[in-house]
């Protein structure tokens, strides 16, 4: 049963903006399974709404994924937390990103303004994003090395764990990220703000203090919230799509 679930997860991971449609033949080749197994998984996922038909023998992601996404966000964030993020964005006059990871890649789960947290996967840029460093620091060194085996991250992630702060320096951007902790004291998201180098030279220290303070406020609300799930009362935490790898 576990193997079947893992294969279904691998199948769903195939669907992205560049390859939004898949059929049994292509799935069988990519996942190295038989065509009959691929077809059975596609049909089974369609039957529960995670996939939908897109023509003869073709499938796309199903609308049930949207429903699940909305349920997830409503169970994690309150209107008060959305307002905290909105105030940070207005105070700094820039976009704010709240990101987490889906097991292997960063995903934007909230924020203020358009997404601006990463310029691309580390394998393309040669750098790990500020938010990615926070999320990787929450993992074991073994798991971080599995995700990015070509990067020697242990010294940097140790510093991030100690300082609870991460920075990103690139030719056209500067970014800072701080961890957001859940009620158990575990990191579940990274709060990220990115600005231009010239903006950073003028107000880098202000941006850093604001991000750290806001992340602390978000963590405090998570610690103090009652146990039941919350429905988000307002929409400022703008949902985004899957982003690039760490």
Same-domain check for residues 83 and 203: yes
**Residue with tokens 């992601």, as numbered in its chain:** 61
58: domain CATH number is: 1.10.10.10
Q: What integer pLDDT is reported at residue 225 of this predicted model?
A: 63
CATH code, domain with 95 = 3.30.450.40
Q: Are residues 73 and 152 in the same domain?
A: yes
Helix (H) or strand (E) holding 154: helix 154-163
Which pLDDT belongs to residue 6? 80
Integer CA distances (angstroms), 50 to 7, 11, 63, 68, 213, in order: 14, 11, 7, 10, 39
The answer to whether residues 81 and 38 belong to one domain is no
Number of domains the chain is built from: 2
What pLDDT sits at residue 3? 66
Q: Are residues 163 and 201 in the same domain?
A: yes
Q: Dig out the tokens for 99 from the structure.
A: 């990101």
pLDDT in tens, the chain (246 residues): 556 778 888 888 888 888 899 999 999 999 999 999 999 999 999 998 889 898 788 999 888 777 766 665 555 566 678 889 999 999 999 999 999 887 767 888 888 888 887 777 787 777 889 999 999 999 888 888 888 888 888 888 999 999 999 999 988 899 999 999 988 888 889 999 999 999 999 999 999 999 999 999 999 987 776 544 333 333 334 334 334 456
What pLDDT is attached to residue 229?
A: 37
Asked whether residue 208 is assigned to any structural domain, the reply reads yes
Write down the pLDDT at residue 89.
93
The answer to whether residues 33 and 90 belong to one domain is no
Q: What pLDDT, on a 0 to 100 scale, did the predictor assign at position 174? A: 95
| Residue that is last in its domain, among 47, 62, 77 | 62
- Which of 27, 62, 97 terminates a domain? The answer is 62
Domain co-membership, 178 together with 84: yes
- The pLDDT, as a whole number, for residue 69 is 66
Same domain, 146 and 54: no
Residues of the domain holding 72: 68-224
Evaluate whether residue 244 is within a structural domain.
no
pLDDT at residue 56, rounded to an integer: 84
- Token representation of residue 8: 């279904």
The pTM score is 0.69
- Say if 241 falls within a structural domain: no
């Amino acid at each position: 049963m576990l193997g079947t679930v893992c294969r279904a997860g691998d199948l769903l991971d195939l669907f992205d903006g560049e390859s939004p449609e898949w059929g049994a033949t292509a799935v069988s080749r990519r996942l190295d399974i038989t065509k009959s197994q691929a077809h059975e998984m596609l049909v089974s996922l369609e039957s529960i709404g995670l996939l939908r038909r897109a023509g003869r023998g073709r499938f796309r992601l199903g609308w049930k994924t949207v429903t699940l996404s909305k349920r997830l966000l409503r169970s994690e964030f309150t209107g008060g937390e959305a307002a905290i993020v909105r105030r940070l964005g207005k105070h700094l006059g820039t976009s704010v990103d709240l990101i987490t990871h889906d097991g292997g890649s960063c995903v934007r789960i909230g924020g203020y303004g358009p997404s601006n947290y990463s310029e691309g996967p580390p394998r393309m840029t040669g750098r790990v994003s500020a938010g990615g460093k926070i999320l990787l620091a929450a993992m074991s060194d073994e798991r971080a090395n599995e995700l990015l085996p070509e990067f020697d991250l242990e010294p940097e992630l140790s510093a991030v764990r100690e300082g609870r702060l991460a920075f990103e320096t690139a030719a056209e951007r500067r970014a800072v990220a701080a961890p957001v902790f859940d009620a158990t004291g575990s990191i579940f998201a990274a709060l990220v703000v990115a600005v231009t180098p010239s903006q950073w030279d003028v107000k880098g220290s202000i941006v850093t203090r604001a991000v750290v303070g806001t992340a602390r406020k978000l963590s405090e609300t998570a610690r103090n919230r009652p146990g039941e799930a919350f429905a988000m009362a307002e929409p400022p935490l703008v949902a985004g799509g899957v982003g690039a790898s760490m």
